[in-house]
């Protein structure tokens, strides 16, 4: 099966997506291309971010939380997100927060969604906040019987980054989908404080090219991926994976 165009995909059955991330910029640096495509297709994309990013891996500074808050809202507008909610848990400390408390924090954001979108369970880079955010989202998704779309990187990308940059990227066993990065790159530019001197981000995007690695998980079990000779667009692949939209392509 090969799908060459996503133009005919409608997301009426995916009216609202619940997206959970740990830090301002995760929605752009990681999920940006996927979220922009879903928003452009007509889905309402609601994002909740657990922390305000005051303990940046690029180095903290006075007032950084306020800077990153403004950057986040600017990026959300570029990506076409319908709602962005910023919580105030300590950056770097989500692993110390009670899982029940994290679950309650995002319960209302996820309860009315049709699909939950997150980083893959290892947090992509292994970051404790990423892992805690995804774990909370997937627990709440399971409670409500919602499917989950996980984002990550391929074994090739992870291995190259770990060797070249000394990082700890964790590969995701999923499927590659074609994406347009134009909106994502514009959103990344909004996060000037974090994108200005970020060689890991630059190199990751170079290695990924026009492909993203994703995995679709049904509430009960991981769904088999389609076998394709040419990578599907993100919308076409999701339409294949999400039964309600399959007839629309």
pLDDT in tens, 141-165: 999 999 999 999 999 999 999 999 9
Phi–psi pair at 125, nearest 5 degrees? -105, 0
pLDDT in tens, 107-142: 999 988 999 999 999 999 999 999 999 999 999 999
Query: Mean pLDDT in the chain?
Result: 86
pLDDT in tens, 34-90: 999 999 999 999 999 999 998 876 665 768 989 999 999 999 999 999 999 999 999
Nearest Cα to Cα of residue 229 among 175, 154, 152: 175
Domains of the chain: 12-244 (3.40.50.10320)
E strand map for the chain: 16-21, 44-51, 83-89, 115-119, 148-152, 175-178, 211-217, 232-233
**pLDDT band per the 50, 70, 90 thresholds, residue 181:** very high
Residues 6+ apart with CB under 8 A from 136: 20, 99, 102, 103, 105, 106
């Amino acid at each position: 099966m090969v799908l060459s165009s996503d133009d005919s995909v409608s997301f009426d059955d995916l009216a609202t997506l619940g997206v959970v991330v740990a830090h301002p910029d995760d929605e752009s640096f990681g999920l940006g291309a996927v979220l922009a495509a879903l928003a452009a297709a007509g889905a309402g994309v609601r994002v909740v971010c657990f922390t305000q990013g005051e303990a940046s891996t690029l180095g903290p500074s006075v007032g950084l939380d306020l800077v990153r808050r403004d950057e986040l809202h600017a990026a959300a507008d570029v990506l076409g997100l319908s709602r962005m909610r910023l919580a105030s848990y300590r950056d770097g400390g989500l692993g110390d927060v009670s899982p029940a408390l994290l679950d309650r924090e995002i319960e209302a954001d996820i309860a009315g969604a049709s699909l939950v979108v997150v980083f893959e369970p290892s947090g992509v880079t292994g970051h404790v906040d990423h892992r805690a955010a995804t774990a909370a989202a997937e627990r709440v998704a399971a409670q409500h019987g919602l499917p989950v779309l996980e984002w990550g990187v391929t074994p090739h990308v992870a291995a190259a980054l770990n060797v070249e940059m000394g990082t700890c990227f964790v590969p995701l066993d999923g499927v590659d989908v074609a994406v347009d990065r134009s909106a994502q790159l514009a959103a990344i530019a909004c996060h000037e404080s974090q994108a200005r001197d970020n060689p890991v981000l630059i190199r990751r995007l170079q290695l990924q090219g026009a492909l993203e690695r994703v995995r679709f998980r049904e509430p009960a079990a991981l769904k088999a991926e389609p076998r394709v000779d040419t990578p599907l667009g993100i919308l076409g692949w999701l339409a294949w994976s999400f039964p309600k939209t399959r007839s629309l392509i």
